Amino acid sequence: MTEPIVRYNNVSKSFGDLEVLKGIDFEIYPGEKVALIGPSGSGKTTFARLLMTLEEITKGTITVHGENLWHEKGKDGELVPASEEHLRKVRSHIGMVFQHFHLFPHMTVLENVTEAPITVNGMDKAEAEKEGKAMLDKVGLLEKADTYPAQLSGGQKQRVAIARALVMKPEVMIFDEPTSALDPELVGEVLEVIKDIAEEGNMAMLLITHEMDFAMEIADRVAFFEEGHIREQGAPEELLNNPETPRLKEFLSRFNATNIE
């Protein structure tokens, strides 16, 4: 059986006295598309931010390609907190698209996309621009290469953010509620780009979303978070149509009622 590209082992995360994640065990396999669903505050985004090293782990371990993310071996062979260099190296396999784009307003679209390959990976500028234009073409925004973010719609900004993450060639891409900050009429264009990426099949994806129909369409597996635990997980058709736990049934019924309204 293929080894997981990411493994969470008894992972907990606390903010002061508040324990947000409680002993999570979870694996993501190469090329697998996983959707995380659950109420706000259930721990989904914290789960992703630990993988991106945007929040520090409290307990447990996370491995990427079998290499410990938050720890490394010290001189005596025992695990010690990871150095920034180690974090950067292991984290290089992971990309993330945030809710609110985080584009640099003073840079053109192309400059936003090529900044990381040049400054982080040391890529030649001409090569970075070639790669950047290819990624902008992939998300349907090549004609906006010389435009500034202020001149773009929210959907276009998010597609630029996706191109910026893709150009780093991650093996796992995290989408943290990528449409939640968009006007409803702009959601479709971003979901279509994510769907196209998913259908290429090469990259594992972790999608945090409230778009249940979309999760059903692209995910290989859905995991339901609630109060810092993964309460239920499985194939999307089974999980969303035949939930086993009362809490997931309640969550889905509220979602369906909201959609009907």
Q: Residue 252 above 90 pLDDT?
A: no
User: Can you list the domains of the chain with their CATH numbers?
Assistant: 6-93+172-260 (3.40.50.300), 103-169 (no CATH)
**24-28, 33-37, 174-178 — which is least confidently predicted?**
174-178
Sort 199 into a burial class: Cβ within 10 Å, 0-12 / 13-18 / 19+.
exposed
pLDDT digits (tens, 9 = 90+) for 164-197: 999 999 999 999 988 888 888 888 889 999 999 8
Mean pLDDT value of segment 121-149: 94
Phi, psi dihedrals of residue 223, rounded to the nearest 5°: -120, 130
Which of the two residues, 102 and 77, has the higher pLDDT score? 102
Cβ atoms within 10 Å, residue 195: 12
Cβ atoms within 10 Å, residue 114: 25
Residues 6+ apart with CB under 8 A from 244: 232
Confidence at residue 129, expressed as pLDDT on a 0 to 100 scale: 95
Q: In the structure encoding, which two tokens stand for residue 99, read together?
A: 């809710």
Mean pLDDT value of segment 26-40: 94
Q: Residue 83 and residue 88: Cα distance in Å, rounded?
A: 9
- The number of angstroms, rounded, from the C-alpha of 157 to the middle of its chain's C-alpha atoms is 17
Q: In the structure encoding, which two tokens stand for residue 80, read together?
A: 């010690």
Mean pLDDT value of segment 9-14: 97
Nearest Cα to 91, choosing from 36, 173, 159, 205? 173
pLDDT digits (tens, 9 = 90+) for 189-210: 899 999 998 988 789 999 998 8
pLDDT digits (tens, 9 = 90+) for 100-132: 888 999 999 999 999 999 998 889 999 999 999
Confidence at residue 229, expressed as pLDDT on a 0 to 100 scale: 95
For 139-187, the DSSP string reads TT-GGGTT--GGGS-HHHHHHHHHHHHHTT--SEEEEESTTTTS-HHHH
Nearest Cα to 26, choosing from 52, 6, 55? 6
